[in-house]
A and B are shown apart, each in its own frame.
Chain A
Amino acid sequence: MSKSKIHQLLIVLFVLSLVACRKDPKPLPAEISRVEPEPNSAVKGFYLVNEGNMNMNKASLDYLDLVNGIYTRNLYNQVNPEATKGLGDVGNDIGIYGDKLYVVVNISNKVEVLQVKTGKRIGQINLANCRYVTFNQGRAYVSAYLGKVGDPKAPNGMVAEIDTAKLAINQTVEVGRQPEEMAIVGNKLYIANSGGYSPPNYESTVSVIDLNTFKEIKRIEVAINLHRLKADRYGDLYVTSRGDYYTIPSRLYVVDTHTDQVKKVFDVAASNLAIDGDLAYLYSTEWNYIQGKNTISYHLIDVKNETLLDQKFITDGTEKNIKIPYGIAVNPVSKDVYVTDAKDYVTPGKLHCYNALGKLKWSVATGDIPAHIAFVY
């Protein structure tokens, strides 16, 4: 071999290195799937936030146009390509109030505010370790784990009141440690405290906040490690306890807001629920040490009479195809039930639609860890 041959070799290598080039960066595209359209649907559709696994920055927003049967995956990046690193890390909740859509992004420490109509970004509210959102009289209330980063004395749980016109925090109130879901009944805000950062010293209360004074007025003793909290139309709260994952099992409690006391315990594990009219749709995923696997169950509850019903909301046996039920919503008009499947958390999930008779209507692929749904009317 001569020098020229070496040169040739080097040139070839250099060209190879160029051929193997990277593509020009582009915003992540949206993807569209078709589902059965409902031309007469009173509900226009819904937004679904996919949590995305931690550190992956893969929270994403999907939209289902029910009327035309069009499911759009990853809408956010297409509509808001200018947002640095997109929606963020671990979407934790979603809510619609007026013409605004609020997405709570946990690790990204922010509440994103979007136009309901287009999904276009309007603004954001920064809030460290924010968890859930609810609304009342022109205000959004967001629960958060962290008062201030780097201060061990800072509150370990609070609710921030946000002015939905100014998109700014008005005031905050300290509640129990690591608070989760909230509901508003009358002029009081009820919030489930978990205390999940200090096992086995979990919290076991629901904090009650008077919205007139924005002060915590009392704590209702319920059970350890509370998570979900939903109000029915009879002034009752359905509160889930995660248990301690070992000897204390997960349970569902009913709190009467007239007396602010627990009035009933349902002897079933409860991960998440949706209440529509007189029915609560409930599922649970519970780890079983003896079997070394998760036990998944689905239940219907009559919230008027507070009884567990024999009837199921999935009747065709297709629930066995759901690996990890992770989100649930009920169409308030058609009574269709939407259940999401997070699968193994690291692959795209599935959204299943069951009709009012419990038969699977359709399924569609979502983003990673599909979880929270907000209907658009």
Chain B
Amino acid sequence: MTKKKLAFFEGYVAFIGVAVVGMLCAFEGVAFAQNTDTLGKVNQLQEVKINEYRVSRQSLSPAPLQILTGPDLQRINSLSVADAIRYFSGVQLKDYGGIGGLKTINVRSMGSNHTAVFYDGIQLGNAQNGQVDLGKYSLDNLEEIALVSGQSDEQLQPAKSYASASAIYLKTRIPAFDDKKYNLTANFKTGDFGLLNPAFVYQHQISRHLSASVSSEYIKANGKYKFRYTNGVYDTTAVRNNGDVNRFRLETAWFGQLNKQGKWHAQVYSFLSDRGLPGAIVANKFNYDQRIWDRNIFVQGNLTQKFGERLAVLINTKLAYDYTRFLDPEYITLNGFLDNRFHEREAYVAVSANYRLTDRWQVSFASDYQYQDLKANLYRFAYPRRNTFLNVLSSSVKLSRFEVQANLLSSTVNDEVNAYSSAGNKQVFSPAVLFSWKIFEESNFRLRGFYKDIFRMPTFNDLYYTFIGNTLLKPEFAQQYDLGFTYQNSFKKQQLTFVEVQADFYYNQVKDKIIAQPGANLIRWIMYNLGRVDIKGAELNLKTGWNLGKELALGTAINYTFQQAMDITDPSDENYRQQIPYIPKHSGSFLAKIDYRNWRANYSFIYTGYRYNQKANIIYNYMEPWYTHDLALGYGFKLKQASFNLNAEVNNLLNQYYDVIPNFPMPGRNYRLTLNFKL
């Protein structure tokens, strides 16, 4: 036991070393950057501006935008980004359960690979399987989570931001200083599953133009929880095994001001994880021994510079290295246990420019280059490398009540392999148009919509994974249409202080969907471009704010999603025009928060309707609806300069046992306690 721990920490030390080197390099760069102006004040001003703006960012956005910000992130019952994202509409979370279980997101039924995840404006890549495990990202250092269907309407952004059907933007905290030159936040979470989770964020103002932050977190959990399966006759309760998690994250970031018109941001992110892989609970087999180790590190930065009133330039860059090891003691080869190791590298650079032709008319151009490669100790592995070139030309016209934006994205992908065959070159042009129209002068009612043509590239696994990959694969295309409205109003001297409504109807069609089909036997699946899915949906978000008395405030949020996602692959299939797996027709959430003096209370309800776990909509594939009630109670107080917050959570209050993925049970009722300290 101790030996294992030691090995894990040795791993840390190596990584911390790398991170420190990264820091020093960045400081080196900083020396040049110290010139004029007060960064602190600018930051503060921006904060204020952002906060004011934020209230209506969702309403103004031509593409449906949902946002959770700092204060809300702190108080909702969530441990990771994945938990928080359940409160958004249009989203299905594929959750394998527990702290370490894989959690991926499926937006508007198009599949996980169509959602890009951005970390401070730069995409978290995964060339291997194209999916980001949102359970890996904790909320601790995050200031904001935003989900945009379609694409962000920012004018100055990298081409990657145009290159997915939907996107999640994770933003880390930007330091803001008042009278003192540092901020310290420390957190400690503990609770069920043997959870021990200390974390801190330290921010320091080095000079008026430069500030830095360090954020670190450790999560240890045994991942044990009770689950129960019953068919009314048998009734079995057992404890989840092999769900232990050991995770460590260390991040540093620098924020600099170049002159009046420029700023930069650089960060190093490192993540180490050692965990068990809990398997499917099937008859006579409840326990597993498989393990996964992850080492992720990336260094990234961006620089924004304005040249006068008209031109602005943004440069983004990133280097990333990801290592994964998978060990299966139940799979014994000639060399012992199956022990797969994957090394993925990425280099990325993006230049974007925005030019104001007139006060109302802007044009933007963005050009990204990305290099990715993958090594694996697999039999007959191809050792693929991928060069991706993205170029976008975008233009927007903003009148006082009408806004339209159009862009054309060119994607050039070139694959090369060291062995066997490669998928070759691909060139795709993808257009998008977005609009927002404030119909009445006096009312905050906006009509909005977009059309977007996009695709996802086959991943390295799709193309090259030994025995499964098929290099003949084409990209998977998605066409999206969206029409909706937003309405927002605030009232003075009333109990109801605030109303915000967003409603959208959408139609998506996915064609050449990449799906696994059988080869000659169960072990031998092959990827094909076979599926065709027709998706109609509606989303409703309703937020209200209430002032119920002197110090009593209530906020509510309701999300509802309807999705009809039909398989229209082949009229001769028995499941033709049936709902695709894992997509419920109805899902939604309800969130209420009450503030009274130093007390905060939260209640949330999440509902996912019935759905099927395989293609055929028959009883054998039917999955019951699930719904959870979560409660949280928080108390905050100040002691001299320090502020303390105590938060107690009960999750799944009614102890409902359910699966999101069949045979991967979710936890029943569980408790969590958070102590937060700010200086």
Contacts and interface: CB of A to CB of B under 8 A. Distances in A.
B620 interface: yes
Given A57-B662, A85-B229, A348 B574 contact: yes
B592 to A, nearest CB: 8
B312 to A, nearest CB: 45
A368 B614 contact: yes
A310 interface: no
B218 interface: no
A269 to B, nearest CB: 9
Contact of A89 (B282, B334, B336, B517): B282
Contacts of A198: 333-335
A257 interface: no
A318 interface: no
Interface in B359-391: 379-380
A107 B334 contact: no
B159 interface: no
A58 B338 CA distance: 26
A1 B472 contact: no
For A89, A286, A365, the residue with the greatest tally of chain B CB atoms inside 10 Å of its CB is A89
Interface residues of B, number: 69
B526 A20 contact: no
A197 B662 contact: no
A57 B337 contact: no
B467 to A, nearest CB: 6
Given A81-B234, A83-B283, A84-B236, A347 B522 contact: no
Interface string B307-332: 00000000000000000000001111
Contacts of B520: 242, 245, 250, 271, 284-287, 294
Interface in A1-18: 1-3, 6, 10, 13, 17
Contacts of A364: none
Interface stretch (B167-175, B444-452, B482-490, B605-613): B605-613
A136 interface: no
Contacts of A294: 519-520
A57 B282 contact: yes
Contacts of B241: none
A88 B281 CA distance: 10
A279 interface: no
Nearest to B279: A55
Interface in A70-109: 74, 77, 81-90, 105, 107-109
A129 interface: yes
Contact of A1 (B282, B496, B575): B496
A20 B609 contact: yes
A344 B518 contact: yes
A200 to B, nearest CB: 7
A177 B331 CA distance: 11
Nearest to B331: A197
Contacts of A369: 522
Contact of B280 (A57, A77, A324): A57
B620 A105 contact: no
B50 interface: no
Contacts of A22: 624-626, 656
Nearest to B581: A346
A17 B524 contact: no
B289 interface: yes
A146 B332 CA distance: 8
B282 A2 contact: no
A81 B522 CA distance: 28
A348 B283 contact: no
Interface string B503-525: 00000000000000111111111
Chain B interface secondary structure, helix, strand, loop or mixed?
loop
Interface string A31-44: 00000000000000
B234 to A, nearest CB: 5
B398 to A, nearest CB: 35
Interface string A257-298: 000000000000001000000000000111100001010000
A108 B232 contact: no
A165 interface: no
B573 interface: yes
A17 B605 contact: yes
A51 B518 CA distance: 14
B332 to A, nearest CB: 5
Contacts of A13: 590, 605
Interface residues of A, number: 81
A82 B334 contact: no
Interface in A347-377: 347-348, 365, 367-369
Contacts of B574: 347-348, 365
Max chain B Cβ within 10 angstroms of own Cβ: one of A51, A200, A345: A345
Contacts of A199: 379-380
Interface in A156-176: 156
B358 interface: no
B614 A347 contact: yes
A27 interface: yes
B289 A81 contact: no
B330 A348 contact: no
B641 interface: no
B519 A285 contact: yes
B523 A110 contact: no
B663 A56 contact: yes
Interface string A126-157: 10110000000000000000100110101010
A13 to B, nearest CB: 6
Contact of A348 (B233, B526, B616, B629): B616
Contacts of A331: none
Contacts of B548: 3
B229 A84 contact: yes
B619 interface: yes
A110 B285 CA distance: 9
Contacts of A66: none
A24 B232 contact: yes
B231 interface: yes
B620 A28 contact: yes
Contacts of B519: 245, 285, 287, 294
Contact of B627 (A20, A56, A85, A245): A20
A128 B229 CA distance: 23
B499 to A, nearest CB: 10
B337 A152 contact: yes
Contacts of B230: 25
B284, B525, B574 — which one has the most chain A CB atoms within 10 A of its CB? B284
A129 B330 CA distance: 9
A196 interface: yes
A58 B620 contact: yes
Nearest to B473: A292
A287 B467 CA distance: 10
B648 interface: no
A3 B552 CA distance: 12
Contact of A74 (B284, B620, B663): B620
A149 B330 contact: yes
Contacts of B467: 245
B554 interface: yes
Given A20-B607, A55-B280, A25 B663 contact: no
B618 interface: yes
A93 to B, nearest CB: 13
Among B236, B517, B629, max chain A CB count under 10 A is at: B517
A342 interface: yes
25 contacts: A1-B495, A17-B605, A22-B656, A25-B230, A56-B614, A83-B283, A84-B283, A85-B229, A85-B281, A107-B282, A108-B283, A108-B284, A196-B523, A197-B333, A198-B333, A198-B335, A199-B380, A242-B521, A245-B520, A344-B615, A345-B525, A347-B573, A347-B616, A348-B618, A348-B620
Which 9 residue pairs of A and B lie closest in terms of their CB atoms, listed nearest first?
A88-B283, A89-B282, A81-B233, A85-B283, A55-B280, A152-B336, A57-B282, A198-B333, A108-B284
Given A28-B619, A367-B620, 6 more contacts: A77-B231, A81-B232, A85-B282, A246-B380, A342-B518, A345-B518
